Amino acid sequence: MTSEMPAIPWHKARKADTRQPLTPEAIVEAGIAVLDREGLEGLTMRRVAQELGTGPASLYAHVSNKDELLELMLERISGEIRLPARPEPERWKEQIKEICREAQRVYTAHRDIAVVSLGGIHLGPNKLRISEFMLALMLSVDIPRQVAAWALDGLGQLVDTDAYEASVYTAKFASGVGIEGYFEGVRDYFAQLPEERFPLFKEMAQTLVTGDGDDRFEFKLDVFLRGLETYIER
């Protein structure tokens, strides 16, 4: 026999409060959920609070402002980037490509997060472990330290800008004309240009739009790494 009182029929039924205590981790996860659905434009402290079923003021006990929340979100997302088990100097270029592909994949999957990555120097352990691995890889093949430091910055920008562009295309073509139709239109436009003014664009109409985002990302990595290889001290 239970001693619990039955519900009064004419009173509104109360739902059990199953909410977890508010934590920085929960706020970050809510922020990522909003970002993935609505992008950076839709991400506000008020919107994140709504996601958690609370008010904006309660968030400020755990994060100082939106900028800090974005930093924490980037750090959390960067933890999804998988690294090789160990540096392999004999495969240094291929390993750098593997890391850049993985980073591009992760950042593209999270809408506009690459914009946050572009915005400054990020010091969280997840971001630093990626940089530490890539520095160790470059130094293991005798790339000078200053060159390795600048290359790290350049590779980061390459990944971030490519991931952001990919997210822009994804959002742009989520409805309406597809991306293939868009580039077909661009190709047809080039082909119709006046030859006396734009002979190369007209002649190369198909060549200029050949290759998808992955093909072009691989090309940019190849160009960067071939140039980087010339700095190796032998």
| 111-120 pLDDT per residue, tens | 899 999 997 8
The per-residue pLDDT for 16 is: 44
The mean per-residue pLDDT over the stretch 177-193 comes to 88
Cβ contact 165:180 at 8 Å: no
Residue 187: is its pLDDT beyond 60? Answer: yes
90: left (phi > 0), else alpha (psi -120 to 50), else beta? alpha
The per-residue pLDDT for 233 is: 78
For 50-78, how does the pLDDT look when each residue is reduced to its tens digit (9 = 90+)?
999 999 999 998 999 999 999 999 999 99
Residue 128: is its pLDDT beyond 90? Answer: yes
Q: What is the pTM of this model?
A: 0.84
For the chain, domain boundaries = 24-78, 89-229
User: Is there a common fold for 24-78 and 89-229?
Assistant: no
3-class DSSP assignment, residue 60: coil
* Class (C level, CATH) for 24-78: mainly alpha
208: left (phi > 0), else alpha (psi -120 to 50), else beta? alpha
* The listed CATH number (2.60.120.10, 3.10.20.740, 3.40.1710.10, 1.10.357.10) that belongs to domain 89-229: 1.10.357.10
